[in-house]
Amino acid sequence: MTRQTIVAPEIAVSRWFNTKEPLTLAALRGRPILIHAFQMLCPGCVTHGTPQAEKAHRLFRDSDLQVIGLHTVFEHHAAMTPVSLEAYIHEYRLTMPIGVDEPSTAGPLPVTMGRYQMRGTPTAILIGRDGAILHHSFGQEDDMALGARIADALRT
């Protein structure tokens, strides 16, 4: 059975933190990319997903893996503003680049969340060097399993 290749859609970001220049998947083509979609009021994100993504960012900093945090707000919009996110980033000492998923004019889901058909947060998406989605998961994922997937993406 052959695996269907799905090219990762571009991310839509309205504001960036922890990076001097906006990041695009097109500009990062040729590098593996780990996207961590989160909400700062999501318990699973706060306790597991975001620390895991930050750990991957720090552990693989000397490789060509690019970790991107994506604050994708689909509920409690008034509480999760960019000002609140900036405080969250500071308090949790996050150093990975973090983008704010662009709000949609067509409905309650942000643009990138809709493009990737995310079911919620935390969501991890691993993109290969060729731009294909290698892994797309929702919920808590074991550190070792994610690390093995990252290592495999770096090796190819």
SS3 48: helix
Residue 131 is which amino acid? G
For 15, the token pair is: 């504001």
Q: Look at residue 81 in the predicted model and tell me its pLDDT.
A: 81
Structural domains of the chain, count: 1
pLDDT of residue 4: 62
- Residue 138 CB: number of other CB atoms within 10 A? 14
Stretches in the chain below the pLDDT threshold 50: 1-2
pTM score, two decimals? 0.92
Domain-located, residue 4: no
**Per-residue model confidence (pLDDT) at position 156:** 84
What are the CA-CA distances from residue 91 to residues 29, 46, 47 (Å)?
Answer: 32, 12, 14
Residue 1 lies in a domain: no
Domain range enclosing 121: 13-155
Does 5 fall in a domain? no
CATH of residue 132's domain is 3.40.30.10
- Give a yes or no: residue 2 inside a domain: no
CA–CA separation, 24 and 128 (whole Å): 14
Gyration radius of the chain over CA positions: 15
Is residue 54 included in any domain, yes or no? Answer: yes
Helix (H, G, I), strand (E, B) or coil at 12: coil
Q: Can you give the pLDDT at residue 44?
A: 94
Q: Is 7 part of a structural domain of the chain?
A: no
Q: What pLDDT, on a 0 to 100 scale, did the predictor assign at position 79?
A: 67
